[in-house]
């Protein structure tokens, strides 16, 4: 059969689906990956065939000046109140409404070419199955337009599906409050209407969802789930010579993710504290940080190796522990490598707040579409930036999962001193209980079906749902 993947143009979105795409390809199926033309090279580098969308020399939709900004906190919390959400559930809603809907808006736009080109390709190539990134919501429209079966590939806890369930349950209350019954349905509506397609539950949830989250990391939703083991892929690069031999002392990896490495100095002050803490330990710290993430580090101890990039699938098997930002990709790689984890999590809300500033004086911890630290723009008027929480979106559920299984602990650089961080690293490296917890997490991971094992399920579901 023919399988079309859609991927938001980011390694954090592409790399998790690569093993599944390989499994289908290795089973004899034709596989294509549609993404923005500027990102096509990343698909090729992963050994897959890209379908470029849009202008390869043009501006990717997310960094256009007219890209959708985050929803104002007042509106986000107004929805949360009507939905009756508190505590952890309120945080789930914020992730969906304020963060994910921004990305979702990019590839359903009818004033840009990408969504239309995706539908045109699907009608011409006629895939049997479309597997779509939840933030690439033109995928199900393309599937419906060509009669293909379609499924979401979840990249973390199912915040959209969870939110759809809550919106549906409180539809009357939302209507009475003058609020949208479903913001994503409103967003997809104009594109669907262009092709005479109804925005129904299937177009929002997919006909089923491939879910690589382990038990305990999933959210309860009404969608049909196909569990699949998260097999880490972090790029194919030459194996460094220094990784070929066993380390003389316990090795600890420090990786703080791909998402904010271009515009957050010193990782909110976290990097300098961790590097200073490691300096007093009998360990080797490998800090995979770029110059911006290293800002604020006054001295690199002799037992710290700084390197801008190394594949986690090469580094983590040599490590006794990993310190990371709580992202799903890094978490999954650590689970597969049986490595105890120290997850950076401040425990604060993920709500982002607007701030009016002169762009020439933007401080650390803020973000504006099209503006990154180190990039000079000819802009002098006051602009809206967004104050970000000093943590990854998934940091809290990730840290709670790791702690709950005895596989690691939480690092909060805003409440812990350098000395306390030093003691934490030493404990996780040397206390055998953390290694046992990591083994238990690995066993849970291994018990899930592999990508190759899921292929027959996808073949069956495709035959059941295909509409031609």
Span 36-70, pLDDT tens digits: 999 999 999 999 999 999 999 888 999 898 999 99
Note the pLDDT of residue 125.
98
Note the pLDDT of residue 462.
98
- Give residues with Cβ within 8 angstroms of 398, minimum separation 6: 217, 326, 327, 328, 331, 343, 345, 392
- The whole-number average pLDDT for the span 269-274 is 93
Note the pLDDT of residue 265.
75
- The whole-number average pLDDT for the span 153-174 is 98
Res. 377: pLDDT tops 50: no
CA separation (Å) from 300 to 276, 279, 280?
Answer: 8, 8, 12
pLDDT tens, position by position, 283-312: 999 999 988 888 899 999 999 999 999 999
Average pLDDT value over all residues in the chain: 92
Query: What gap in Å lies between CA 132 and CA 138, rounded to an integer?
Result: 8
pTM for this prediction: 0.92
Of 87, 404, 346, 392, nearest in space to 217 by CA: 404
Note the pLDDT of residue 267.
83
Q: Which helix (H) or strand (E) holds 316?
A: none
* Token duo for residue 354: 């607007």
Note the pLDDT of residue 59.
87
Domains and CATH numbers, the chain: 2-230+449-465 (3.40.50.2000), 241-352+388-447 (3.40.50.2000)
pLDDT tens, position by position, 192-223: 999 999 999 999 999 999 999 998 999 999 89
Percent of the chain with pLDDT over 70: 93
Note the pLDDT of residue 359.
52
Note the pLDDT of residue 280.
86
- Give residues with Cβ within 8 angstroms of 386, minimum separation 6: 69, 70, 352, 353, 354, 355, 366, 367, 368
Note the pLDDT of residue 273.
95
Note the pLDDT of residue 386.
78
Least confident of 6-10, 112-116, 243-247, 359-363: 359-363
pLDDT tens, position by position, 322-352: 999 999 999 999 999 999 999 999 999 999 9
- The whole-number average pLDDT for the span 95-115 is 97
Question: Left if phi > 0, otherwise alpha if psi is -120 to 50, otherwise beta: which for 269?
Answer: left
């Amino acid at each position: 059969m023919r399988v079309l993947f859609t991927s938001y143009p980011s390694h954090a979105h592409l790399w998790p689906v690569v093993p599944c795409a390989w499994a289908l390809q290795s089973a004899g199926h034709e596989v294509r990956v549609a993404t923005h033309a500027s990102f096509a090279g990343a698909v090729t580098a992963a050994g897959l065939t890209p379908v470029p969308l849009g202008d390869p020399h043009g501006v990717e939709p997310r960094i256009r000046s007219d890209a959708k900004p985050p929803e104002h906190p007042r509106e986000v919390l107004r929805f949360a109140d009507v939905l009756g959400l508190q505590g952890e559930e309120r945080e789930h809603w914020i992730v969906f409404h304020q963060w994910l809907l921004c990305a979702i808006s990019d590839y359903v736009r009818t004033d840009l070419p990408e969504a239309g080109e995706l539908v045109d390709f699907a009608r011409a190539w006629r895939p049997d199955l479309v597997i779509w990134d939840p933030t690439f919501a033109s995928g199900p429209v393309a599937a419906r337009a060509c009669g293909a079966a379609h499924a979401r590939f979840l990249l973390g806890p199912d915040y959209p599906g969870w939110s759809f369930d809550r919106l549906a349950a409180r539809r009357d209350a939302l209507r009475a409050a003058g609020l949208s019954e479903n913001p994503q349905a409103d967003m997809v509506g104009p594109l669907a209407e262009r092709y005479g397609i109804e925005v129904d539950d299937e177009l929002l949830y997919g006909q089923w969802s491939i879910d690589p989250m382990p038990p305990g990391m999933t959210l309860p939703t009404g969608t049909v789930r196909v569990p699949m083991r998260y097999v880490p892929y972090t790029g194919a690069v030459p194996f460094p010579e220094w990784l070929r031999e066993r380390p003389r002392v316990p090795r600890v990896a420090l990786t703080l993710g791909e998402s904010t490495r271009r515009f957050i100095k010193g990782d909110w002050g976290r990097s300098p504290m961790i590097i200073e803490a490691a300096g007093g330990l009998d360990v080797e710290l490998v800090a995979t940080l770029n110059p911006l993430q290293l800002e604020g580090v006054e001295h690199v101890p002799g037992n710290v190796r700084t390197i801008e990039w190394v594949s986690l699938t090469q580094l983590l098997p040599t490590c006794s522990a990993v310190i990371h930002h709580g992202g799903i990709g890094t978490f999954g790689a650590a689970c597969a490598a049986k490595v105890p984890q120290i997850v950076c999590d401040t425990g604060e809300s993920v709500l982002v707040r607007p701030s009016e500033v002169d762009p020439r004086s933007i401080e650390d911890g803020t973000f504006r579409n099209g503006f990154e630290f180190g990039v000079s723009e000819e802009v002098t008027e006051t602009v809206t930036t967004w104050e970000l929480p000093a943590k990854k979106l998934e940091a809290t559920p990730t840290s709670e999962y790791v702690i709950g299984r005895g596989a690691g602990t939480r690092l909060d650089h805003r409440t812990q001193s350098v000395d306390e961080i030093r003691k934490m690293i030493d404990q996780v490296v040397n206390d055998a209980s953390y290694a046992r917890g990591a083994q238990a997490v690995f066993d849970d991971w291994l018990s899930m079906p592999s990508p190759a094992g899921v292929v027959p399920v996808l073949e069956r579901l495709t035959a059941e749902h295909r509409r031609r």
